[in-house]
């Protein structure tokens, strides 16, 4: 039995999304910018998907810009946002545990002369909203931070942060990287007044290569890709209609079945936490109030790569952190203040709508085998 517990890296494409993608590629293959019937047919598919994404965020469909995924969405939000506000300040506030697509964009701007303030988590892994609020001042042009951490599942206090700073600094540009939280937590832009929100398809049962950026009405950003006038001239290039059609189906699935999926995540998380209490060699790294679809653990003394490949030999697939790090030691876990032996031995388990108890039991059985095999190392 194949056991896949790496859904933060990517999810299996749901059947409706795969079918929609195939249908567009083979039947509805027109260019949405073409004026003839085939083009109009393709444009209608893009419009329908935009409406679905907007229904989740409770925004106008024109606020949704389709991109190639989270990295492009984050770069467009950060670099495009800064480019449009060059005279508004020279300070950026973010966190010390951001995804590489945010951290590297911030580091690039740092080299261009911007000051980047990185807010640190508190002991135990959570963030205090006051630290973000106090980091912002009159020179701050952009606040960019994640909704849910992709390695520990920590849920940042995004609602409190945005609400307080919107009142204190109404002109501040606020970007929320919602890639790991989109459709897993309510995200109503009428209540959460962010200017820019990034999300990605392959984290929620759509194919890789499609994502989106919410741009609040009246907020101006500059494009980072130049060409035609697609996507309100903010993302030039012929839209990937097959991927957008698949994204539409995946979004509808998560919108309509979201609570059912959330119950599955909670069950998996609780089940494994209880099991690990009986395994003294295992340490849980994720805070108790982390998002239930993520559970980060360590087996101190056994390097992540060794345990990961032992599990892989039994067709069990987990990760040692963000897929973008390609197995490198996690700087995020170090930023969270975890001891070196836990950072070196960390394993990230992440669940999907299809994760079942039998799979968790299979994982636990093989993990125990691995612990017994490497027990001499642990000692």
Tens digits of pLDDT across the chain (379 residues):
899 999 999 999 999 999 999 999 999 999 999 999 999 999 999 999 999 999 999 999 999 999 999 999 999 999 999 999 999 999 999 999 999 999 999 999 999 999 999 999 998 889 999 999 999 999 999 999 999 999 999 999 999 999 999 999 999 999 999 999 999 999 999 999 999 999 999 999 999 999 999 999 999 999 999 998 999 999 999 999 999 999 999 999 999 999 999 999 999 999 999 999 999 999 999 999 999 999 999 999 999 999 999 999 999 999 986 555 555 667 888 888 899 999 999 999 999 999 999 999 999 999 999 999 997 766 5
pLDDT at 328: 61
Residue with tokens 């508190």: 122
pLDDT of residue 125: 84
**In what helix (H) or strand (E) does residue 348 lie, and over which residues does it extend?**
strand 346-350
Distance CA(295)–CA(330), nearest Å, equals: 15
Predicted pLDDT at 147 = 97
Q: How far is CA 327 from CA 124, 220, 308, 318, in A?
A: 24, 37, 10, 11
Q: What is the model's pLDDT at position 1? A: 87
Tell me the C-alpha distance between 143 and 158, whole Å.
11
Around Cβ 288, how many Cβ atoms within 10 Å?
10
Tell me, what's the pLDDT at 377?
Answer: 67
**With respect to CATH, is domain 3-10+258-378 assigned 3.90.1150.10?**
yes
Helix/strand/coil for 98 = coil
Fold of the domain built from segment(s) 15-253: 3.40.640
Q: Tokens 């009246």 correspond to what residue?
A: 218
Q: Given the structure tokens 């004026």, which residue do they identify?
A: 35
**Token digits of residue 178:** 């919602």
Contact predicate 272/356, CB 8 Å: no
> Which of 81, 35, 23, 15 is CA-nearest to residue 252?
15
Q: Using CA atoms, how far apart are residues 318 and 41, in angstroms rounded to an integer?
A: 41
> What token pair was written down for 243?
């991927």
Distance between first and last Cα of the chain: 31
Domain range list for the chain: 3-10+258-378, 15-253
Q: Which residues are catalytic?
A: 324
Residue 124 has a pLDDT of: 80
d(CA 17, CA 36): 26
Tell me what pLDDT residue 326 has.
55
Query: Cβ of 203: how many Cβ atoms within 10 Å?
Result: 28
Local structure of residue 353 (DSSP, 8 states) = T
- Contact in structure between 91 and 139 (CB atoms under 8 Å): yes
């Amino acid at each position: 039995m194949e056991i896949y517990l790496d859904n933060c890296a990517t999810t299996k494409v749901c059947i409706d999304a795969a079918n929609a993608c195939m249908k567009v590629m083979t039947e509805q293959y027109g260019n949405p910018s073409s004026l003839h019937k085939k083009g109009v047919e393709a444009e209608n598919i893009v419009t329908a998907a935009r409406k679905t994404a907007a229904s989740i965020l409770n925004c106008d469909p024109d606020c949704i810009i389709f991109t190639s995924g989270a990295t492009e969405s984050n770069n467009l939000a950060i670099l495009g946002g800064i480019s449009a506000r060059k005279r508004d300040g020279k300070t950026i506030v973010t966190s010390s545990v951001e995804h590489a697509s945010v951290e590297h964009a911030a580091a690039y701007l740092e080299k261009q002369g911007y000051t980047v303030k990185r807010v640190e988590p508190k002991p135990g892994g959570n963030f205090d909203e006051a630290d973000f609020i106090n980091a912002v001042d009159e020179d701050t042009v952009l606040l960019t931070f994640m909704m849910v951490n992709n390695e520990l599942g920590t849920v940042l206090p995004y609602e409190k942060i945005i609400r307080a700073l919107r009142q204190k600094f109404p002109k501040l540009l606020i970007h929320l990287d919602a890639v790991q939280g989109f459709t897993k937590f309510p995200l109503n832009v009428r209540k959460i007044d962010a200017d820019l929100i990034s999300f990605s398809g392959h984290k929620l049962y759509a194919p890789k290569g499609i994502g989106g950026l919410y741009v609040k009405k009246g907020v101006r950003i500059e494009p980072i890709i130049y060409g035609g006038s697609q996507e309100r001239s903010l993302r030039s290039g012929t839209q990937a209609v097959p991927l957008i059609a698949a994204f539409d189906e995946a979004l509808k699935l998560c919108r309509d079945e979201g609570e059912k999926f959330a119950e599955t995540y909670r069950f998996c998380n609780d089940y494994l936490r209880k099991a690990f209490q009986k395994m003294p060699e295992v340490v849980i790294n994720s805070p108790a109030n982390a998002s239930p679809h993520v559970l980060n653990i360590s087996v101190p003394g056994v390097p992540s790569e060794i345990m990961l490949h032992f599990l892989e030999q039994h067709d069990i697939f987990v990760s040692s952190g963000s897929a973008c790090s390609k197995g490198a030691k996690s700087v995020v876990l170090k930023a969270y203040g975890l001891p070196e032996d836990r950072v070196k031995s960390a394993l990230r388990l992440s669940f999907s709508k299809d994760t079942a108890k039998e799979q968790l039991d299979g994982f636990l059985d093989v993990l125990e085998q691995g612990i017994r095999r490497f027990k001499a190392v642990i000692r």
